[in-house]
Amino acid sequence: MRSQVTVTWGEPATYRFDLEEVQPMPHDQARAWLDQQFTAFDCEPIRLTGKVLTADKVLGVAQAAGQERFRDAAHRDWAMEFARASSAALAKPTVTVDLATMSVGY
């Protein structure tokens, strides 16, 4: 089964992270990593109710991190952790984080 996370701001700013040969992250560890990053980046809830869904955390962290974190080789380890955490927390092998439309697809 294919395992990949794609983060895009629209072409040509699309970054793919292949998780085929990468150790999966445990679900609880993935959620904790996203929570920590959400807080570290001072992300705001997307929904007016203030409720933060896991998909919202993935979007918020990716948006706050910016394209540089996904594009630059210096941040490759962080980007792979993001991909691993997103895939594990959402329990989906293939995830597309589309920041142009603020949506997460599976």
Q: Give the integer Cα–Cα distance in Å for 9 and 102.
A: 9
The confidence score (pLDDT) of residue 69 equals: 96
Q: What is the pLDDT of residues 18-45, one digit of tens each?
A: 999 898 899 999 999 999 999 999 999 8
Q: Where are the domains of the chain?
A: 4-105
pTM higher than 0.95: no
The confidence score (pLDDT) of residue 7 equals: 98
**Residues in a beta bridge with 4:** 18, 94
Mean of all residue pLDDT scores within the chain: 94
Asked whether the predicted pLDDT for residue 50 surpasses 80, the reply is: no
